[in-house]
Chain A
Amino acid sequence: MCLALPAQIVALDPATNMATASVGNVKVEVSLALVDDVALGDYVLVHVGYALNKIDEDEALKTLALFAEAGVMNGYPCHAPFG
């Protein structure tokens, strides 16, 4: 199942339209080709190397808390305040 894991943008490279995003403590390289106006600190949903869309921080933290509850984040410590 395609889980909607929110990732926070921690570095941007405008020259290549790429970014580094953080899911828990895991860093992934993502393309920003499919989404507009992404800034440092934004949360995006990531799928196979692409940021799909931005989501607001409240929704991102709520989602991360749900995944923590489901045990999905086991081994992927996350800084989000899990309810």
Chain B
Amino acid sequence: MDTVDVDVVIIGGGGAGLRAAIAAAASDPQLKIALVSKVYPMRSHTVAAEGGSAAVTLAEDSLEHHFNDTVSGGDWLCDQDAVEYFVEHCHEEMVQLEHWGCPWSRREDGRVNVRAFGGMKIERTWFAADLTGFHMLHTLFQTSMKYPSIRRFDEHFCCDLLVHEGSAQGVVVIDIATGEFSMILARAVIIATGGAGRVFRQNTNGGIVTGDGMALAYRRGVPLRDMEFMQYHPTCMPGTGLLFTEACRGEGGILVNRDGYRYLQDYGLGPPDPWPRKKAMELGPRDRLSQAFWHEQRKGRTIDTPHGPAVHLDLRKLGEKLLRERLPQICELARDFLGIDPAQAPIPVRPCVHYTMGGIPTDVNTAAPLPGLYAAGECASSGIHGANRLGSNSLAELCVFGRVAGEQAARFAREAPAPNGVSLRWQAQDARGSAVGLLARPAGGERLATLRDEMALAMEQGGGIYRLEPEMQATCKKIAELTERLPTVNLGDRSQCWNTEWLAAIELGFQLDVAQAMAHSALARRESRGAHQRLDEGLTERDDANYLKHTLASHVRAGPPAIGWSEVVITRSPPGVRAYGAAGESKEAAVG
């Protein structure tokens, strides 16, 4: 097995991984940096983010507002020290991207324009039409090419994290084109592998979003935090789950049921007019909007489509010109995938799984509870999203905490001892053994896709917008059963070269571990908060007395995870009532 020696290895080449790589390289040109990605970096799922990235920009906005929107949006499960750091650094990161060439949409005077997003008091979302993630990713990727000290391992699949005497010291990677294994030894490791939305059936995520980094850390003893909180984005394409950005509503779009009625007014988000209006109706937070859909469906007020119930996202009032200028990709998606011109007809939408709020727990320095390990982006539980992420906070997070991760890992690497090559080589050989072992099994057995589909269905049934104890228990049982069935799966492809079936089997192992952490964390949280809503008697409300704390799911060999708890960091905002629409407006008026 080849060995590569570096100072910092980064797993994941999306927005957070690239930002970390640039920060590490810029902090010290002498550092050797490896950037490992299972796809070419510009294919990473950051590319699909549409609407924008938050940063306090307008004179009437303030860090205080961004902080309050984020913390109340997160139903007070945010770590407020992390939120404080985050809101303070969003603007400089957005300016940094601007200096690197990101084509932000502009006002007539040449300044960067901002738009409104859900749960946001003042417009603060920077955007590049509705291609924001795409432009941020390509800007970061192309800028990263400026740094010769970043050695990329494109299309290399990370199959294990190497740990020696309680510190992260490298990774094992497979060159996808050849099937060859390498060991990358490093003084610090950054995980930036994104979320895990593909464990659910209908989701907005790309095929690569399989929770790899979360599972790698989890298996090495790092607990996963707040995994019960999965965000359902309210406006997605039925069936495929493709995303129609929240910016559709930020620009003035409305949601109506089968009667053409703006149903959100029935769920504490009204009154409907005047419109558009911040923190009300269609600009409420994502969890509330997805929950309202669920109720509409139960009332029989949704629209039937070949892929199940939907409501209508109506953009007609925006007019052709604004649609083409601000939402060109939405127009393209509606036209190509649904045969609809949004200027002429409403788009059928439904909630689908979108974002993994939980992940590898990190402190304000992005340090995970394993020395030498850092995490940033969706794979991390940085503490800023709490129980429900605010739209446009995740793209900003990639940059703010991606940079911190790069700088902190670089600093750690300068002081850390060289990795223990001998011990790590044995670990790496074990990792190769178990990965290759999947290929050595005799033919026969179940198809991989059968297991994957059963997992995704079980997660949808027990981990939906509203959750019930018996269904959650059934999901836990199902995931355990699938984990037992996984080693007997039939892999027809025995090639070393570009064996994506084999890699998908390894990914399914990652997904099942993450799914298990999600399902058991959900069961343990006996309250309703943000994206975790229970229908069980006595558990339908937030319970701060018992559950104002994070779940920590720890991996247990051959058994369900151990669920522990940790404190939520409260600095300045004691838990209060989340109020939107008229209720929110009168609450703010009372505060003055």
B and A form one assembly: no
